[in-house]
Amino acid sequence: MAEIEPIADKVTSYFYAQLFLRHPDLRALFPAAMDVQRDRLFKALLTAATHADDTAALTAYLDRLGRGHRKYGTLPEHYPAVGEALICALSRHASSSWGPRTEAAWVSAYTTISQIMIDAATADELRAPAWWQAEVVGHEMRTPDVAVVTVRPDQPYPFLAGQYTALETPWWPRVWRHYSFASAPRSDGVLSFHVKAVPAGWVSNALVHRARPGDVIRLGAPTGSMTVDHSTDNGLLCLGGGTGIAPIKALVEDVAQHGRRRSVDVFYGARRTDDLYDIETMLRLQQSHSWLSVRPVVDDSPVGLLSGGLPGAVREHGPWHTYDVYLSGPPGMIRRGVDTLLGIGVSTHRIRHDSIEELVGAAT
């Protein structure tokens, strides 16, 4: 891995060239533009290599990866083809460390990896469809570039507040992006997402500027562990930045539905007042629930300027060390937020947020 990491781009391009030359039929499983995809393959390999000595973590990761591949139409017979192309790309580019022993080790590792993924996907077939179709039933522009999109899945879609899903639009086939559910599960089965159109973002721009009621999108299975632990009465401290307020709103609704009074403190950050597109909903929730406090923090307001944005505003209140903490927003906000929280004595095991890697891929 050390030898190929600096030339990861070259190795992954070579890998895909080999794969599609040998198995042209597999090209149809991938998006037309392969840029994000290239990066993903290498990140997955790095993650697997990083956890190579931690069987439990590695198996949990590969289980998720195997299940996640169902929505792409991946079949057990595709795995050997990928394995051959991978070994071919590695042996060509890791020339100074490659030899019969290295090759045998990679063949054995890849065989194990693919078997775990195949087994996880097969077991999941008994529990859930590979994907869901969902019809857009609502589309509301909240700012010139943020829309709340509401969809109705074609079959029951069980999930937990705080989780997210992968979503594909009809305009960019096989290009999947992650979005959090913006509401706790509802009795009518309808799901909602907060989408910000980001510059040159294919999926986000399609969802904000093109999607209309009647359009049909596809959803993968729900995932993510940023969920409420209902076995405790710990207070919840929630930091939501920009459209990252979506899962925070779902968490608040979840606490309300469970009917246990526990204090929930939400800090809702935005660059400017006009960007607080969901503040009315959050204030309405605050009005109906005495245990809920919502504090908007705008970067260019006196409080934002003085305190150093969202993480700074959180530091000025508290203490928070008895709270479970949830962060959702841009990667920079999460990193700074986590640093701030650790700095004021909140322990790591109380802090939850989605994977920063997945968020980076999500904002397009």
- CA distances to 290, 321, 323, 329 from 347, rounded to whole Å, are 27, 7, 10, 20
Closest CA to 217 of 121, 328, 138, 126: 138
Q: Are 95 and 42 in contact (CB under 8 A)?
A: no
Q: How many Cβ atoms are within 10 Å of 174's Cβ, its own excluded?
A: 16
241 makes contact with ligand NAI (CB under 6 A): yes
201 makes contact with ligand NAI (CB under 6 A): no
Q: How far is the CB of 169 from ligand NAI (least distance, A)?
A: 15
Residue from 270, 282, 314, 346 binding ligand NAI (CB under 6 A) = 270
309 makes contact with ligand NAI (CB under 6 A): yes
Q: What letter would DSSP give residue 339?
A: H
243 makes contact with ligand NAI (CB under 6 A): yes
CA distance 313 to 298: 10
Residue nearer to ligand NAI on the CB measure, 66 or 269:
269
Q: How far is the CB of 3 from ligand NAI (least distance, A)?
A: 33
- Using CB atoms within 10 A of its CB, is residue 332 exposed (0-12), middle (13-18) or buried (19+)? exposed
- For residues 21-60, one letter each, b for 16 or more C-beta atoms within 10 angstroms of the residue's C-beta and e for the rest, the string is eebeebeeeebeebeeebbebbeebebbeebeeeeeebee
Q: How far is the CB of 304 from ligand NAI (least distance, A)?
A: 7
296 makes contact with ligand NAI (CB under 6 A): no
The number of residues that bind ligand NAI (CB under 6 A) is 28
Tokens of 157: 């879609």
Strands 292-298 and 264-270: parallel
Residue from 159, 247, 254, 324 binding ligand NAI (CB under 6 A) = 247
222 makes contact with ligand NAI (CB under 6 A): no
Task: Say whether 145 sits in a helix, a strand or coil.
Answer: coil
Q: Which stretch binds ligand NAI (CB under 6 A): 36-44, 152-160, 206-214, 265-273?
A: 265-273
Q: How far is the CB of 269 from ligand NAI (least distance, A)?
A: 3
- CA distances to 124, 168, 186, 236 from 253, rounded to whole Å, are 29, 26, 10, 13
Residue from 333, 338, 341, 346 binding ligand NAI (CB under 6 A) = 333
Residue from 70, 142, 194, 352 binding ligand NAI (CB under 6 A) = 194
18 makes contact with ligand NAI (CB under 6 A): no
Question: DSSP H helical segments within 126-229, as ranges?
Answer: 202-209
153 makes contact with ligand NAI (CB under 6 A): no
- Give the CB-nearest residue to ligand NAI: 242
Residue from 109, 299, 301, 303 binding ligand NAI (CB under 6 A) = 299
Q: How far is the CB of 181 from ligand NAI (least distance, A)?
A: 8
271 makes contact with ligand NAI (CB under 6 A): yes
> Over the Cα atoms of the chain, what is R_g?
22
What does the binding site for ligand NAI look like in residue numbers (CB under 6 A)? 179-180, 194, 196, 241-244, 246-247, 269-271, 275, 299, 309-311, 328-330, 332-333, 336, 354, 359, 362-363
